[in-house]
Amino acid sequence: MTDPIQGTRRLGQSIWLDYIRRNLITSGELQKMVRDGISGITSNPAIFQKAIAQSDDYHEALEALLRSDPDAGIETIYEHLAVEDIRMATDILRPVYEASGATDGFVSLEVSPYLAYDTSATVAEVRRLWRLVDRPNLMIKVPATPQGIPAIETLIAEGININVTLMFSLKHYEAVSHAYIRGIARSPHPERVASVASFFVSRVDTYTDRELQRIGTAEALALQGRVAIANSKLVYRRFREVFLGKEFAQGRENGARVQRVLWGSTSTKNRAYSDVMYVDGLIGPDTVNTLPPETIDAFRSHGQARRTVDEGLAEAEEILANLRKVGVDLELVTERLQQDGVKAFADSFDQLLSTLEERRKV
């Protein structure tokens, strides 16, 4: 039987790991996952917070850092630990990066969530992190806030690999894809730049299901668990229109890569639903799906590698039209989700710094 992860690769989709911690890297487990088909890593403040708070992986590194610099600030300590992890992970994935012609094998590091609404500060911080990590297969995550969009254009123009995050709507996608195209147009070496547009999936169902239950009609309840994939499929259709059509024609001529769509938040939150529904339902060319370890295991166990991302587009349109009819404004929902996402990452970063402060005192 074909491994579903290998099967998705043949269909043009990369599976990345949405998880990082020191022992994963130093134990050899990450190398094994890469041999088994995992071709990238994403991280965020919540992932680092759990890794540091729920393990002793960082005890020795933290002790060594404090011996060499007893007065180090908490953010400096976090950055030192995170950059060590990111560098080790990028080195493990470097062969994937080389073998893929620099289209895969990336490791993502999030810019500070405190800067999500500050364009100039985001640009300056991303430049600094890019120089600090100093790996060609690094991607730096920048949120698709209104202030993030011009930052993304500037950074792409400068040749920095960007993972655009916290996208929930077609409106968000339009802004991000065109920021990429404008950045590529300004880049002296467009063929060297890589970017993904991270479109969040399951959180849309989590929010709309709650609204649909509140409305409570048969028409509303029939839409539960169906909105997120429909929303994502229409974004993928737009991706193909943009990047295979006239809007990116000049970029293609100049050797630039398409900005792949990355499906984020694809672990299933509602236990009534299949634990691989957001993987099985969104497989297709020029995409990435980033999964936590438990979802990777579930997909390997009972997932199906079949091109699905552009199936049922008429049905997807109907689902979103019916959502409007029953009284749920998806645009308002997705704007709220982006704001909540920024806040959640900032809260996780607060918790992370608090955890490090406690560890420092031990």
Does 159 reside within a domain? yes
Q: Looking at the domain assignment, is residue 362 inside a domain?
A: no
Is 141 known to be catalytic?
yes
| CB burial readout 160-170, b (16+ within 10 A) else e | bbbbbbbbbbb
Pick from 234, 213, 235: nearest CA to 223? 213
Q: Alpha-carbon distance 209 to 253, whole Å?
A: 44
24 is a domain residue: yes
**How many CB atoms neighbour CB 35 within 10 A?**
8
Count how many domains the chain has: 1
Helix runs in the chain, H state only: 4-10, 22-26, 29-35, 45-53, 59-68, 74-99, 119-133, 148-157, 170-186, 202-215, 218-221, 227-244, 249-253, 277-280, 293-302, 313-325, 330-361
Domain-embedded: residue 339:
yes
Instruction: Look up the domain containing 272 and give its range.
Output: 4-357
249 part of a folded domain: yes
Distance between CA atoms of residues 244 and 184, nearest Å: 15
| Token pair for 345 | 């990452």
pLDDT at 50: 87
pTM of the model: 0.96
CB proximity list for 318: less than 8 A, separation 6 or greater: none
Give the torsion sign (CA, 167, 172, 177, 182): negative
Q: Are 258 and 188 within 8 A, CB to CB? A: no
Kindly calculate the radius of gyration of the chain based on its CA atoms and give it in whole angstroms. 20
Asked if residue 192 is part of any domain, the answer here is yes
Given 32, 50, 141, 269, which residue is catalytic? Answer: 141
CATH of the domain at 291: 3.20.20.70
> Regarding beta strands 138-143 and 195-200, do their DSSP bridges make them parallel or antiparallel, or are they unpaired?
unpaired
Q: Does residue 48 lie in a domain region?
A: yes
Long-range contacts of 241-248 (CB under 8 A, 24+ apart): 242/177, 242/178, 242/181, 243/177, 243/286, 247/178, 247/181, 248/181
Q: Is the dihedral of CA 198, 202, 206, 211 positive or negative?
A: positive
Per-residue pLDDT 10s for the chain (362 aa) are 679 999 999 999 999 999 999 999 999 999 999 999 999 999 988 898 888 888 889 989 988 998 998 888 999 999 999 999 999 999 999 999 999 999 999 999 999 999 999 999 999 999 999 999 999 999 999 999 999 999 999 999 999 999 999 999 999 999 999 999 999 999 999 999 999 999 999 999 999 999 999 999 999 999 999 999 999 999 999 999 999 999 999 999 999 999 999 999 999 999 999 999 999 999 999 999 999 999 999 999 999 999 999 999 999 999 999 999 999 999 999 999 999 999 999 999 999 899 888 877 76
Collapse the DSSP code of 262 into the 3-class scheme (helix H, G, I; strand E, B; otherwise coil) and give the result.
Answer: strand
Give SS3 for 103: coil
Q: Rounded to an integer, what distance in angstroms lies between the CA atom of residue 180 and that of residue 203? A: 25
Q: Is 186 within the bounds of a domain? A: yes
Cα 337 to the chain's mean position, in Å?
15
With 0-12 CB in 10 A as exposed, 13-18 as middle and 19+ as buried, what is 300? middle
Q: Are 127 and 160 in contact (CB under 8 A)?
A: yes
